[in-house]
Amino acid sequence: KHVFKKGKATFALSFTILILSWLARFSILLIILWSMGIDFKPFQMYLQQWIVYITMMFIPTPGASGGAEASFYLIFDGEIPKKLLTLIVSIWRFFTYYFMLFTAIILVQLFSVGLNSTSKIDSI
């Protein structure tokens, strides 16, 4: 009720950012395929990635490690040339998961250094 009465603009903005986030995440594979000169159908690639992400929800390891790569490999086996599939899986997984983790680690370290240098508790 509260969102419907007072939060329509916030909800619309939040939902738009969510949609753009998923489109950006799904576009990573399209950029990889395009840069390697591989022919593809964009809508089909988006749909197949959606299936990969759905299967990742059922993999009980943190971040679906191992299972994400396996499901990607199985789903895209006929679409991407076999000799490039392993490389593309690795690049795709790096930019859709590990790159964000590494970026978060760096940002946490940068912000924690800034907080620690101005902390009054440390000077006591």
Q: Encode pLDDT of 97-120 as tens digits.
A: 999 999 999 999 988 876 665 555
State the pLDDT at residue 17: 97
**Cα dihedral value 53, 59, 65, 67, nearest 10:** -70
For the stretch 36-81, pLDDT in tens is 999 999 999 999 999 999 999 998 888 788 888 999 999 999 889 9
- 120 backbone dihedrals φ, ψ, rounded to 5°: -80, -25
For the stretch 72-100, pLDDT in tens is 999 999 889 999 999 999 999 999 999 99
